[in-house]
Amino acid sequence: MRRELRSLLQETPSGRSVLEIVPEEFGLRGIRVLALDFDGVLAPHGGDQPLPDVEAWLRQMVAVCGAERVFILSNRPEGPRVAWFHEHLPGVRFISEVRKKPYCDGLAKTGQLASVPLSAILMVDDRLLTGCLAAICAGSTPWYVRAPFVDLRNNFHKELFFMLLRWGERLFVRVLP
């Protein structure tokens, strides 16, 4: 797994965001389901709805793939986030009542609900040692977001914490034998 994480880190461009994912390429890679982390991937940490550009991208994903093929796999699957999706993108489901990432339970539940093998799931996360690690362990495809959405002006301490955490993860993955 360390080798896979190191390769993922080395092969991921520094400016990569969720907005670079093109739904038309899924079939070429065997991807049939999209599992998205929320914080950092769809919005800054603590946000209750996706950023406007991300919302437009999500609508495109749903139009091409179908809402039943898009899941939110966040360690905080509750409250206004869920309400926003129910109102604006019904059919996109939150995975809940599973152990948090990096456990593979959320991806297993995603595969079960979508009736696809784990290898057909693309897990999009801004953390190497949570969502990306879960994807590698489960046999899914990880998509590492190296340019997460942050809002230092409104959430300085929390964003700084996660920036340092991501930096530490990258260092840890590079240093491990």
Strands 93-94 and 33-36: unpaired
Q: Quickly state the pLDDT bin for 46 (edges 50, 70, 90).
A: confident
**Residues 2-175, CATH architecture:** 3-Layer(aba) Sandwich (3.40)
Closest Cα partner for 41 from 31, 53, 30, 33?
53
Query: Is the model's pLDDT at 15 over the cut of 80?
Result: yes
Can you tell me which residue has the tokens 């590079």? 174
Question: What pLDDT score was predicted for residue 28?
Answer: 73
Question: What pLDDT score was predicted for residue 86?
Answer: 95
Q: Which of 25-29, 114-118, 140-144 has the lowest mean pLDDT?
A: 25-29
Tens of pLDDT, residue by residue over 127-167, are 999 999 999 999 999 999 999 999 999 999 999 999 999 99
Mean pLDDT of the chain: 94
Query: Is the model's pLDDT at 19 over the cut of 90?
Result: yes
Question: What pLDDT score was predicted for residue 29?
Answer: 82
Q: What is the average pLDDT across 75-85?
A: 89
Q: Which of 30-44, 71-85, 109-123, 132-146 has the lowest mean pLDDT?
A: 71-85
Question: What pLDDT score was predicted for residue 176?
Answer: 75
Question: What pLDDT score was predicted for residue 1?
Answer: 78
Question: What pLDDT score was predicted for residue 24?
Answer: 80
| CA dist., res. 157 & res. 150, Å (int) | 11
Q: Which structure tokens are listed for 139?
A: 């046999």
| CA dist., res. 60 & res. 52, Å (int) | 13
pTM: 0.95
DSSP the chain: -HHHHHHHHHHS-TT--GGG--GGGHHHHT--EEEE--BTTTBSTT-SS--HHHHHHHHHHHHHH-GGGEEE--S---THHHHHHHHHSTT-EE--SSPPTTSSHHHHHHHHHHT--GGGEEEEES-IIIIIHHHHHHT-EEEE-SS----TTTSHHHHHHHHHHHHHHHHHHHH--
Tens of pLDDT, residue by residue over 54-77, are 999 999 999 999 999 999 998 887
Q: What is the average pLDDT across 85-92?
A: 96
